[in-house]
């Protein structure tokens, strides 16, 4: 939107400065910032923003309508998040995730585990077009394998996210892969082909780094414990390859383009059904003794879908692997997303974000400076608007004419939007993507951030190509 009347740059940045100050304070003063501190910080900053836009002429009714609209845009993500919680619960009690961990430890050499995690997640995310589904299914299993062989959760999460966002970026089934060319004015497959120029070197560097880390990782003291983990899983679950029918069916229906919400519900219910068929011991343990199996099945599946389930073994490592929180475990994250959408809605309603980015556009004289400004703006919107789609849509609209004026083809803009907007969303703790993946993996965003190499390298690669004028297509040539 156009900035409200007489909005100064100083006024526009006040809510941003306040938010950064509060979030920084929370890191030092609260052990669990996701439990409410960051949510209140976002709401306080939004309140200050609302006062500023109201002072400059925007009515509260208009601001409120924009907040509601912004929250509405995030509603599908929040519903998906709830279903991912349920899916994780039923896949745990059914033995699907334990089976993935059990067989995965046989198939994966510890020294190539990190590379394998990146490649497997990349393949699945390209096939499904969804980083969220990939991380919530294959990602959770890989995290369990990494934990069992002694790899840091933060490093494993970085590998999982690097692979999952590779597919989120280039799969023709991905929503962001379709959104970016639509905003820039190019077609889908031109966009995908052009992205390979920056994506391939970014992923190559990522794989090399993880390969070096894997080779130099000390697994001698952890391989023996992996056998203990397998034994504990085998004692607690009926492990059979038939359990892999559940993820196979889910991946198939996603590839066949069933919408995410019904697909995740199918996956959740299949997990519950397989728990009833294959895991009577688990069903009885969760529900308690002295009741019929039919009642126990209903109680256990429902509990796994909405609440806490903790299965006990003699191995503390396995106990951590086998705990889930269902939908309830996602509520703090949904609260964070709601708060972030309120802040983003206020900032966008009064045109404060546009007011902040306007000077940046004026300074972008060369192609390298223009691409760098676009990358910085996308990251800025990921931080302030807290939504991956806004970080693509708004900069796409803002910079489209500037790219045209410089004679740049629209795929240059669409690639830059993906390299920065899509890739950095998962690195912001209060962004819908960062908050979600942190909750799913159980690892703080700032813990996995240093190891999400693909996501960190991609925007830098886009800037490097622009300054070196590598594969920068211009009107009238094939660049």
Note the pLDDT tens digit of each residue in 324-348.
Answer: 888 998 888 788 778 878 888 888 8
pLDDT band of residue 220 (cuts 50, 70, 90) is low
H-run or E-run covering 82: helix 60-93
CB 251 within 8 A of CB 125: no
Query: 325-351: buried (b, 16+ CB within 10 Å) or exposed (e) per residue?
Result: bbbebbebbbbbbbbbbbbbbbbbbbb
Give phi and psi for 3, each to the nearest 5: -55, 145
The pLDDT of residue 5: 60
Percent of the chain, pLDDT > 90?
33
Residue 69 CA to residue 18 CA, distance in Å, equals: 24
Model-level pTM? Answer: 0.72
Non-local (6+) Cβ contacts of 213 within 8 A are 114, 155
Taking residue 48's Cβ as centre, other Cβ atoms within 10 Å add up to: 17
Mean pLDDT on 264-274: 94
The pLDDT of residue 219: 59
CB 94 within 8 A of CB 322: no
The pLDDT of residue 268: 93
Residue 184 CA to residue 174 CA, distance in Å, equals: 16
Asked if pLDDT for residue 436 goes beyond 70, the answer is yes
Average pLDDT, the chain: 85
The pLDDT of residue 102: 81
pLDDT band of residue 1 (cuts 50, 70, 90) is low
- Which residue, among 103, 418, 121, 144, has the nearest Cα to 251 in the 3D structure? 121
Mean pLDDT on 28-37: 78
Mean pLDDT on 136-159: 87
List the chain domain ranges. 76-321
The CA radius of gyration of the chain, in Å to the nearest whole number, is 23
Residue 38 CA to residue 19 CA, distance in Å, equals: 9
The pLDDT of residue 306: 93
Query: 100-130: buried (b, 16+ CB within 10 Å) or exposed (e) per residue?
Result: bbbbbbeebebbebbbbbbbbbbebbbbbbb
Q: What is the dihedral of CA 249, 172, 372, 199, to 10 degrees?
A: 70
Reduce the DSSP state of residue 408 to 3 states and report it: strand
**Does 199 or 145 have the greater pLDDT score?**
199
Tell me 183's DSSP state: H
Asked if pLDDT for residue 391 goes beyond 80, the answer is yes
The pLDDT of residue 458: 96
The pLDDT of residue 293: 93
- Which residue, among 454, 238, 472, 264, has the nearest Cα to 368 in the 3D structure? 472
pLDDT of 73-112, one tens digit each?
A: 778 878 887 888 898 889 889 988 888 878 877 777 778 8
Reduce the DSSP state of residue 323 to 3 states and report it: strand
Taking residue 172's Cβ as centre, other Cβ atoms within 10 Å add up to: 12
Asked if pLDDT for residue 477 goes beyond 90, the answer is no
pLDDT band of residue 161 (cuts 50, 70, 90) is very high
Query: What's the first-to-final CA gap in the chain, in angstroms?
Result: 34
CB 88 within 8 A of CB 324: yes
- Which residue, among 387, 350, 391, 336, has the nearest Cα to 66 in the 3D structure? 350
The pLDDT of residue 464: 95
The pLDDT of residue 14: 92
Asked if pLDDT for residue 404 goes beyond 70, the answer is yes
């Amino acid at each position: 939107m156009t900035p409200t009347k007489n909005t100064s740059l100083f006024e526009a940045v006040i809510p941003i400065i306040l938010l950064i100050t509060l979030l920084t304070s929370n890191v030092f003063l609260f052990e669990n910032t996701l439990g409410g501190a960051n949510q209140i910080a976002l709401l306080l900053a939004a309140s200050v923003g609302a006062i500023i836009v109201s002072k400059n002429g925007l009515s509260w009714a208009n601001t409120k309508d924009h907040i509601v609209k912004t929250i509405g845009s995030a509603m599908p993500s929040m519903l998906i998040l709830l279903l991912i919680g349920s899916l994780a619960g039923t896949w745990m009690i059914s033995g699907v995730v334990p089976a993935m961990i059990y067989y995965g430890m046989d198939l994966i050499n510890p020294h190539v585990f990190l590379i394998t995690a990146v490649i497997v997640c990349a393949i699945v995310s390209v096939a499904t077009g969804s980083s969220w589904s990939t991380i919530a299914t294959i990602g959770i299993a890989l995290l369990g394998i990494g934990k069992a062989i002694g790899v840091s959760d933060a490093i494993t999460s970085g590998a999982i996210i690097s692979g999952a966002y590779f597919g989120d970026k280039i799969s023709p089934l991905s929503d962001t892969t379709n959104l970016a060319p639509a905003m820039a004015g190019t077609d889908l497959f031109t966009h995908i082909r052009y992205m390979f120029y920056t994506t391939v070197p970014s992923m190559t560097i990522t794989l090399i780094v993880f390969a070096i880390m894997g080779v130099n990782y000390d697994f001698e003291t952890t391989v023996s414990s992996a056998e203990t983990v397998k034994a504990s899983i085998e004692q607690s679950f009926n492990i059979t390859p038939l359990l892999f029918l559940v993820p196979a069916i889910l991946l198939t229906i996603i590839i066949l383009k069933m919408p995410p919400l019904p697909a995740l519900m199918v996956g959740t219910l299949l997990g519950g059904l397989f728990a009833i068929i294959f895991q009577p011991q688990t069903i009885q343990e969760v529900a308690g003794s002295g009741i019929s199996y039919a009642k126990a099945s209903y109680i256990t599946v429902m509990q796994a879908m909405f609440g806490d389930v903790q299965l006990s073994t003699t191995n503390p490592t396995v106990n951590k692997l086998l705990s889930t929180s269902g939908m309830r475990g996602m509520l703090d994250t949904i609260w964070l997303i709601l708060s972030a959408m309120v802040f983003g809605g206020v900032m966008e309603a009064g045109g404060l974000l546009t007011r902040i980015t306007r000077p940046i556009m004026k300074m972008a004289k060369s192609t390298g400076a223009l691409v760098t400004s676009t990358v910085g703006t996308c990251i800025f919107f990921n931080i302030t608007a807290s939504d991956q789609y806004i970080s693509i849509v708004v900069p796409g609209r803002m910079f489209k004419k500037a790219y045209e004026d410089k004679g740049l083809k629209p795929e240059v803009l669409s690639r830059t939007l993906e390299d920065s907007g899509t890739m950095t969303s998962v690195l912001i703790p209060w962004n819908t993507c960062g908050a979600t993946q942190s909750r799913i993996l159980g690892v703080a965003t700032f813990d996995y951030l240093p190891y999400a190499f693909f996501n960190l390298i991609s925007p830098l690669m886009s800037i490097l190509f622009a300054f070196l004028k590598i594969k920068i297509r211009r009107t009238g040539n094939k660049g």
